[in-house]
Amino acid sequence: MADDTERREGNVFSDGPKKVLLFPDRIRRWRDERPFEPVVVEIHPSERCNHRCPDCQSRWILGDRRVSELSRRGQFMDLTILNGLWERPPEGIIISGQTGEPLMHPKIGELLLILEKRSMPYVMITNGGRMTRNLAEILVRSSRGIRVSLDGYDLASFRSTHGVGKNEWKRVLQGIELLVEARRGAGVSRKSCLIGLGYLVGPATKDGMERVTCLASGLGVDYIHFRPFHFTDVTVDDQIDSCLAYARTDFSVLISGQKYHLMMDGNWMNDRPYSICHGAFFYSMIDPHGDIYVCCHHVGNERAKVGSLREVLWSDWLDSPVRRESIRKFGLTRCVPLCRLNALNRVLQALLDGQRLDPPTDSLVLLHRMFL
């Protein structure tokens, strides 16, 4: 059931790992060890955050103290550092954060307008608390989707997962409403810009799945998406049917099917049928300093830094053997179980092992092919 739930309904990341098969020229170049632009680049504009999530994923690499410092006094990206990116752009951009919330960046609207002007497909992942009417209007007319990480169904549950109180809970709900209203007001279709909510499932949040689904369905968003907290093996099969009862033609209930599938297989903590992160050639991650990391989980880990836009032009980095060597050399040290590129790595390893895999054909998946 897990796999089917996600594939049937779709969001911009659905069928993510298999979407790489839609880029055969890049796959050829990867196999031949020739340079190529990543399919997707994730940009983190801000180290600062307005929330204080006790299980913020950055704590795994950076530790509690460093995360607290950065989330209060960290850096905002100098947007000019991205200038070189547009000479050899990826197919799509993900705006997100590691210790930080993208909407905290004082010039986030400028970044969105740059992407809009370049007709660059992009999505934003946000906690939603700093949403304004103006930003919501830009986002719904120019992004392919916005996912608000809600992770709570009422004030108490939100406080325990996001570490902030009543005013912020209200602001997040208002932010979601601003997005829904802005899309309605602009006459933008659901297909053009999907608005959804994320909910991390762990021992303390699992019982709230139905309640958050009910809340999401009433807020007018397009979907609620359930995925596991890192390092937990809490499955959702005994909860998902009551959530699916809320599904309608204009509201989907999604789960990270691949992750739950692997979880139920058993050895999910250590089972990696690949020895380097192949996916890091198809996905790059740029932090607020302009440093490029092997993936979002390792931001701040010097060993996982594979380049820096402060030291090298994007175009030169793409062509440089340093890119390939540093991804290779990194190996898989301190990699998070069921990580961001785990499923993509499995697909790429299967290709290396000689398996024949068919690319996805669903029209919505093709539309969002760049969001691996």
Q: Which residues make up the interface to ligand SF4 (CB under 6 A)? A: 49, 51-53, 56, 71, 97, 99-101, 127, 162, 277, 279-280, 294-295, 297-298, 332, 335-336, 339-342, 345
Give Cα separations from 254 to 8, 222, 224, 236 (angstroms): 9, 10, 6, 11
Identify which of residues 135 and 247 has a Cβ nearer to ligand SF4 in the complex. Answer: 135
Identify which of residues 297 and 369 has a Cβ nearer to ligand SF4 in the complex. Answer: 297
Identify which of residues 217 and 284 has a Cβ nearer to ligand SF4 in the complex. Answer: 284
Identify which of residues 217 and 342 has a Cβ nearer to ligand SF4 in the complex. Answer: 342
* Gyration radius (Cα) of the chain, Å: 19
Identify which of residues 91 and 151 has a Cβ nearer to ligand SF4 in the complex. Answer: 151
Identify which of residues 200 and 247 has a Cβ nearer to ligand SF4 in the complex. Answer: 200
For 271, the token pair is 């089972």
Please report how close the Cβ of residue 203 comes to ligand SF4 at its closest, in angstroms.
18
Within 10 Å of residue 176's Cβ, how many Cβ atoms?
A: 24
Q: Are 52 and 71 in contact (CB under 8 A)?
A: yes
Please report how close the Cβ of residue 125 comes to ligand SF4 at its closest, in angstroms.
9
Which 8-state DSSP code applies to residue 259?
A: H
Give Cα separations from 61 to 32, 154, 299, 307 (angstroms): 33, 30, 8, 18
Please report how close the Cβ of residue 342 comes to ligand SF4 at its closest, in angstroms.
6
Please report how close the Cβ of residue 141 comes to ligand SF4 at its closest, in angstroms.
25
C-alpha 52/C-alpha 55 separation (Å) is: 9
Q: Are 135 and 103 in contact (CB under 8 A)?
A: yes
> CA quadruple 9, 14, 371, 168: dihedral positive or negative?
positive
Please report how close the Cβ of residue 162 comes to ligand SF4 at its closest, in angstroms.
6
Please report how close the Cβ of residue 351 comes to ligand SF4 at its closest, in angstroms.
16
Amino acid (one-letter) located at 235: T
Please report how close the Cβ of residue 108 comes to ligand SF4 at its closest, in angstroms.
14
Which 8-state DSSP code applies to residue 77?
A: P
Please report how close the Cβ of residue 219 comes to ligand SF4 at its closest, in angstroms.
19
Within 10 Å of residue 188's Cβ, how many Cβ atoms?
A: 18
Identify which of residues 123 and 240 has a Cβ nearer to ligand SF4 in the complex. Answer: 123
Amino acid (one-letter) located at 229: F
- Backbone torsions φ then ψ of 152, nearest 5 degrees: -155, 155
Q: Are 304 and 66 in contact (CB under 8 A)?
A: no
Give Cα separations from 205 to 41, 201, 310 (angstroms): 31, 5, 41
Identify which of residues 234 and 244 has a Cβ nearer to ligand SF4 in the complex. Answer: 234
C-alpha 184/C-alpha 299 separation (Å) is: 36
Identify which of residues 71 and 252 has a Cβ nearer to ligand SF4 in the complex. Answer: 71
Please report how close the Cβ of residue 362 comes to ligand SF4 at its closest, in angstroms.
25
Identify which of residues 56 and 215 has a Cβ nearer to ligand SF4 in the complex. Answer: 56
- Backbone torsions φ then ψ of 299, nearest 5 degrees: -60, 130
C-alpha 349/C-alpha 274 separation (Å) is: 6
Please report how close the Cβ of residue 323 comes to ligand SF4 at its closest, in angstroms.
14
Burial status of residue 263 (CB atoms within 10 A of its CB: 0-12, 13-18, 19 or more)? buried
Amino acid (one-letter) located at 234: V
